[in-house]
Amino acid sequence: MGVDLDSDDDRPAGEMTESDIEMFRRIFPGRHDLIVHEFSDLTLFDQAFAEGRDDELLEAPEASPSMVIEEGRVFKDLPALKRWLQAFAVIWKRPYKVLHSYAERRYTVKWKITKVVGPHNCDDHELTMRHPQLTSIIIAKRLMGILKEQPNMKVRTIIRTVEEIYGGYVITYGKAWRAKQRAWKVIYEDWESGYEQLPVLFNAIKAVNPSMHYEYIPKPNAWKDGRQIFERAFWCFPQCVEAFRHCRPVFSIDTNNKLVPLAFALVERENNDGWGWFLRLVWIHVVGPGREVGVISDRH
């Protein structure tokens, strides 16, 4: 029987910023320190609204202290047994190794626990930094509700949150990133599907803000599964355009601490073609004819 080791990426996560710490404390109210050793149950999965699909994630059991190995427990197939054992190993801090695996065999029958040797009286597992069964699937399922409420959570905050939830296990940057992507896929669907919904979103906004302008550009002659592939989008709001008329004629590209956001765009990549397309639309729909403006940019 094989096991998904969910190979890691050891890229450093970096230190948590003040905003990261504030988000962490919203998840764990009352925490004023960031050194936590005890286990905390933070099951928010039932609050998630899943629109996308990730069958591995959706079928994975929720790791719970109530999980016990007992005679007579039946699993619908081998993958279900493997997922359950992974969750059990994580919640009870019992990492395991697979001694025999036959990849060429295919099982389509139910699996049943027929014998349990017990009671289990060996010493508690000595905690290490890593747990081979703590995969991105298990992490994504546990964090689903949190990521729905905190979609801007950074990878380093996910790493710290997992350490808190699972009693000290520290995952790598790569595993945390994959867990976030899996959770997002279920909550928001994949990126391609999300881009296809942009016209629906734009039309909904325009219904209540009629002077809002947008342009949705599909990729020419590019189709997938009978649907055109998204390439670019641009939008701006009349309130921002009107505000800019009363500002000094200067705007900055891709700036922080902005006063008035003028326009927004999604492009395939930040290159001369993409920036040229965006600035032409800004000139037409925001600046307007006959007005000279200064542009501040760190792009040379």
Arithmetic mean of pLDDT, 197-207: 91
Give domain limits for the chain.
Answer: 18-189, 192-296
Percent of the chain scoring above 90 in pLDDT: 16
pLDDT category at 110 given cuts 50, 70, 90 is: confident
User: How would residue 2 be classed by pLDDT, with cut points 50, 70 and 90?
Assistant: very low
| pLDDT tier, 11 (very low <50, low <70, confident <90, very high otherwise) | low
Report for 16-25, 126-135, 266-275: range of highest mean pLDDT: 266-275
Q: Is the pLDDT of residue 216 over 80?
A: yes
Give one DSSP letter per residue of 1-65, joined into a string: -----------------HHHHHHHHHHSTT---S---S------GGG----S--HHHHHSPPP-T
Contact 81, 2 (CB under 8 A): no
Average confidence score pLDDT of the chain: 76
> For the segment 71-83, what is each residue's pLDDT rounded down to a tens digit?
888 888 888 888 8
Tens of pLDDT, residues 46-98 = 333 334 445 555 555 665 666 777 788 888 888 888 888 888 888 788 888 88
pLDDT above 80 (res 238): yes
Residues 6 or more apart in contact with residue 40 via CB below 8 angstroms = 28, 164, 165
